[in-house]
């Protein structure tokens, strides 16, 4: 039988197992197996040549028993309904794991920003906010950046919402530029969170980060900042990649040079001739492997070839359920996405808190709070996994889903 690569059904299966282990009955699974709300919209956009193009967008709100829903908006040609649903469910889990008073949400628009002008992107961003305006808002559902959306897009979205709301509403969205109420450290928060969990995982495995061999798949927002942090901690980043290929140097790559040369979509390998494939990259001999690109990269087909001691998922959904089983059986420590990449939503929460109180924190204050959240979360998941003798993904789902299930029960929904 071929492997299940559908992110929604594989997420549902683990949520089901986690709820069973926590002692909840089928009614709770019925509630949590799909988002409470899923809005599909059509967004007409005037293009630069005078024509009109209609884009399809989504906003999923998984569960708001704990508080408003929260999650990014993805602009990508491959966005589809089940993916947006799964991403909203992962946000519920992430918020539960790092203990934020939110439920999970997520949005997406089927489009290719690489082929759009700035004017077209601005009109699409504003159109998306108008289309979903009835279900979003600072106390309902708070968007943020995700794949191929950035601080500029958040600024347009915040401006559009403020115009409709007739108030300046910085707390409507996070990931904004600093001058519009963004938080110190938000742009690098995901990579910083990944770095913190790598340090914790390395301690458990007796690996010294200084001199450790690190391989990172993806050189975008998450992967490139992570390469820099690892390099600055004294690790040897021996492999990186993007959508077009991978670079490998067993003596360590020149990360500062690569950061300098990469474009705004995280492409750098096209400048080099001696590249290897992404498949070869994942199978390199290393201590720490970090998939930081796209879904379904470590599957039953290549899980036996992974040589890393620790795999840390910076990307959402890079390892299939079957591959998770294989890696765990082989004694590889797998730190799952819902834990490893929760730094982004954590600092997004800090940004929202600062917007609500109108008082802004220093970079050091943000960093200190982020470290505490991530270290506590790692320890909680790791202890759950070891005491129950289960893999880290199932442990993370148990920790992540518990609060939403409890809040739903107290509210009388189940």
Binding site for ligand NAD (CB under 6 A): 146-148, 190, 217-223, 241-243, 266-267, 278, 292-294, 314-316, 341, 344
- Closest separation in Å from C-beta 352 to ligand NAD: 15
CA distance 333 to 164: 48
Strands (E), 193-345: 213-217, 236-242, 245-248, 288-291, 310-312, 333-335
Token pair for 167: 């108030």
CA distance 94 to 267: 28
Is the CB of 159 or the CB of 295 nearer to ligand NAD?
295
- Closest separation in Å from C-beta 189 to ligand NAD: 7
- Closest separation in Å from C-beta 343 to ligand NAD: 8
CA dihedral (207, 213, 216, 217) in degrees, to 10, reads -120
Token pair for 87: 């991403």
| Binding-site residue positions | 70, 94, 190, 221, 348
Is the CB of 70 or the CB of 405 nearer to ligand NAD?
70
**Cβ neighbours of 170 (radius 10 Å):** 21
Q: Catalytic positions, please?
A: 106
- What is the 3-state composition of the chain as percent helix, strand, coil, each rounded to the nearest 5? 50, 15, 35
**Cβ neighbours of 120 (radius 10 Å):** 18
Is the CB of 348 or the CB of 408 nearer to ligand NAD?
348
| Binding-site residue positions for NAD(+) | 190, 221
Distance, first Cα to last Cα, the chain: 36
Contact (CB, 8 A) for 66 and 103: yes
Is the CB of 110 or the CB of 414 nearer to ligand NAD?
110
Q: Which residue is nearest to ligand NAD (CB)?
A: 220
- Closest separation in Å from C-beta 317 to ligand NAD: 7
| Binding-site residue positions for substrate | 70, 94, 348
């Amino acid at each position: 039988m071929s492997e299940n690569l559908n992110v929604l059904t594989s997420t549902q299966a683990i949520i089901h197992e986690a709820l069973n282990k926590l002692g909840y009955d089928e009614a709770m699974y019925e509630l949590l197996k799909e988002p409470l709300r899923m809005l599909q919209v059509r967004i007409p956009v005037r293009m630069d040549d005078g024509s009109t193009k209609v884009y399809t967008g989504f906003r999923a709100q998984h569960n708001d028993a704990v508080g408003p829903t929260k999650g990014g908006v993805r602009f990508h040609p491959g966005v589809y309904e089940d993916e947006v649903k799964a991403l909203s469910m992962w946000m519920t889990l992430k918020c539960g794991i790092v203990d934020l008073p939110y439920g999970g949400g997520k949005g997406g628009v089927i489009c290719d920003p690489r082929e759009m002008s700035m004017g077209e992107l601005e009109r699409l961003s504003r159109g998306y906010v108008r289309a979903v305006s009835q279900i979003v808002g600072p106390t309902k559902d708070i968007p943020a950046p995700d794949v191929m959306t950035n601080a500029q897009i958040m600024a347009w979205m915040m401006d559009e919402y403020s115009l409709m709301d007739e108030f300046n509403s910085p707390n409507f969205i996070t990931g904004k530029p600093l001058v519009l109420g963004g938080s110190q450290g938000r742009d690098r928060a995901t990579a910083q969170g990944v770095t913190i969990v790598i340090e914790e995982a390395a301690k458990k495995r007796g690996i010294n980060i200084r001199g450790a061999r690190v391989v990172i798949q993806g050189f975008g927002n998450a992967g490139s900042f992570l390469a820099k942090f690892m390099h600055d901690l004294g690790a040897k980043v021996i492999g990186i990649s993007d959508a077009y290929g991978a670079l490998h140097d067993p003596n360590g790559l020149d990360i500062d040079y690569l950061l300098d040369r990469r474009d705004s979509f995280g492409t750098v390998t096209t400048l080099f001739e001696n590249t290897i494939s992404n498949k070869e990259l994942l199978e390199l001999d290393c201590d720490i492997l970090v998939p930081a690109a796209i879904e379904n990269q470590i599957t039953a087909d290549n899980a036996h070839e992974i040589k890393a001691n620790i795999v840390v998922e910076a990307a959402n959904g890079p390892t299939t359920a079957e591959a998770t089983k294989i890696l765990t059986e082989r004694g590889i420590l797998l730190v799952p996405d819902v834990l490893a990449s929760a730094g982004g939503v954590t600092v997004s929460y800090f940004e929202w808190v600062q917007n609500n109180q109108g008082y802004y924190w220093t970079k050091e204050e943000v960093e200190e709070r982020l470290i505490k959240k991530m270290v506590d979360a790692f320890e909680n998941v790791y202890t759950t996994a070891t005491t129950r003798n289960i893999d880290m993904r199932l442990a993370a789902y148990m920790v992540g889903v518990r609060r939403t299930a409890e809040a739903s029960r107290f509210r009388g929904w189940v």
